[in-house]
Every structure is written in C-alpha cells, then in structure tokens.
C-alpha cells in the first residue's frame, strides 16, 4: 500500500502555519493572511502570504516557500523576479489603505525539508 502525498495546498498551508508561529514567537503581530489582489482580465495579480507588524511599527510582507529538500537552490531561491513583481504589486495595493504608509520590508520564510530559515529584508521595492 502506498501513502498519498500531501496536496500542494496542504503543504503550503502547513508551511504558512509554521512561518506564522515562528514570526509570532519573535513578537510580530498578524495583520492579514493570504492577501490577494487581481490585475484584471487576463492579468496575473499577486498574493502576499503573511502581512505582519513588528513591535516598532514596521509592516512586513512575508512570502513563505517550502521545498522537500534544498536541491535546485532551495525554497528561498525560488522567489524569482516575476514573483517579486507580483508581491510588490500586491503590497502597493495593500498600502493604499494607509494615508501615510508605515516603514515596510519584504521577508522570505523558507522551509527546506522542514528546516525553517527567516530571511529578513530579502529584497526591496527597487
């Protein structure tokens, strides 16, 4: 008898749960989870896995990536230019709700084979 492999959604949800627990343990507060924005018909919008706030008020947009192992560059390396562009698009849309946006940064939480690595300020908006 074989075991059924977890679905991509279930794997992603479990990775987000682990990342959220880790970041909360560091004193961060959840603002929103799975923030999605559409770009329009035929356009690809963006999604931010986790949006948290640091104790100092910094708003942190977090991309969570999971891989079974570190081959092919690992989870963190899978956040390429196109993905960063979609994250920036979604973050800009999210920030429209603020009359004066707070300081922000983009982090990546990478899980390779269950090992969690938090990459603070993994990339910027430029």
Tell me the C-alpha distance between 116 and 110, whole Å: 6
pLDDT tens string 12-31: 788 899 999 999 999 999 99
pLDDT tens string 102-121: 999 999 999 988 789 899 99
Tokens 């899980």 — which residue?
Answer: 111
The answer to the question of residue 1 being in a domain is no
Domain span at 102: 8-123
Residue 7: predicted pLDDT: 73
pTM given for the model: 0.87
Tell me the C-alpha distance between 9 and 15, whole Å: 10
The answer to the question of residue 2 being in a domain is no
CATH of the domain at 83: 3.40.1350.10
Residue 70: predicted pLDDT: 54
The answer to the question of residue 13 being in a domain is yes
Give the chain's domain count: 1
């Amino acid at each position: 008898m074989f075991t059924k492999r977890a679905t991509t959604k279930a794997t992603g949800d479990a990775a987000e749960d682990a990342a959220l627990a880790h970041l909360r343990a560091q004193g961060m507060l959840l603002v929103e989870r799975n923030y999605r924005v559409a770009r329009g018909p035929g356009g690809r919008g963006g999604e931010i896995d986790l949006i948290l706030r640091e104790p100092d008020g910094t708003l942190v947009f977090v991309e969570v990536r999971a891989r079974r192992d570190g081959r092919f560059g690992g989870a963190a390396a899978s956040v390429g230019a196109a993905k960063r562009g979609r994250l920036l698009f979604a973050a800009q849309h999210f920030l429209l709700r603020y009359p004066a946006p707070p300081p922000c940064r983009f982090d990546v939480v990478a899980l390779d084979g269950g090992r969690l690595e938090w990459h603070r300020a993994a990339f910027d908006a430029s």
